[in-house]
Structure 1
């Protein structure tokens, strides 16, 4: 089951309140502070994140069965622990990146 969590939009312009995620080489905003749950992402030029994530808007969902969500899909970013039991992965669907989010 999927529940819409946020929309991620790449930008080249600094955004108010952005913080740096060193591991991913990206500045991002806290979507929880956005009325429309928008997360702005500004990637470093040498970020290792897949180009589709860096260049196109992504949709993020909270999921209950990440393995089933990834089955048979093109995985852009395999399951990655963010800390505190939070995990993410990215798949490609309909030409855009889909972020899967869950807690273990």
Structure 2
């Protein structure tokens, strides 16, 4: 499996200049592509259905060629979902921390 670093996501309660909002997860986020250090800030609404680990612990994200293959045998935290056209993501638990896998259509 080839893992290519994408970004780090840091939960916050501070207000930022949000680049987007993922309604099903009730998540505000900044675009890590606009940050020189690939930082994505994430803020979860108080009624967000996302797991506490995701809402409170920073995550590292990797691009993968095939998300199903990347998830084989892993401890899944959040099942695969599509936050944007052509993008599928899922989160796993790894050593007490969330890790995001991202598959981007070419």
User: What is the TM-score when the length of structure 1 is the normalising length?
Assistant: 0.91
Residue of structure 1 in register with 2:101 after alignment: 100
Structure 1 residue 22, shift from structure 2 partner? 1.5
Residue of structure 2 in register with 1:73 after alignment: 74
Distance in 1 between residues matched to 2:9 and 2:43, nearest whole Å: 10
- Alignment RMSD, CA only? 1.4
Structure 1 residue 43, shift from structure 2 partner? 0.5
Spell out, residue by residue over 1:6-51, the C-alpha distance to the aligned partner (whole angstroms, 9 max, x if none).
Answer: 0000001111244322221011111111010100011001100111
Task: Compare 20-29 and 47-56 and name the one that shifted more.
Answer: 20-29
Task: Compare 68-77 and 11-20 and name the one that shifted more.
Answer: 11-20
Query: Unmatched 5+ residue regions in structure 2?
Result: none
Residue of structure 2 in register with 1:32 after alignment: 33
Spell out, residue by residue over 1:56-95, the C-alpha distance to the aligned partner (whole angstroms, 9 max, x if none).
Answer: 0000000013223211211111111234221001011121
Distance in 1 between residues matched to 2:45 and 2:18, nearest whole Å: 17
- Secondary structure of the corresponding residue to residue 53 of structure 1: helix
Task: Compare 47-56 and 67-76 and name the one that shifted more.
Answer: 67-76
- Secondary structure of the corresponding residue to residue 47 of structure 2: coil
Distance in 1 between residues matched to 2:45 and 2:78, nearest whole Å: 17
Residue of structure 2 in register with 1:49 after alignment: 50
User: What is the TM-score when the length of structure 2 is the normalising length?
Assistant: 0.89
Task: Compare 16-25 and 73-82 and name the one that shifted more.
Answer: 16-25
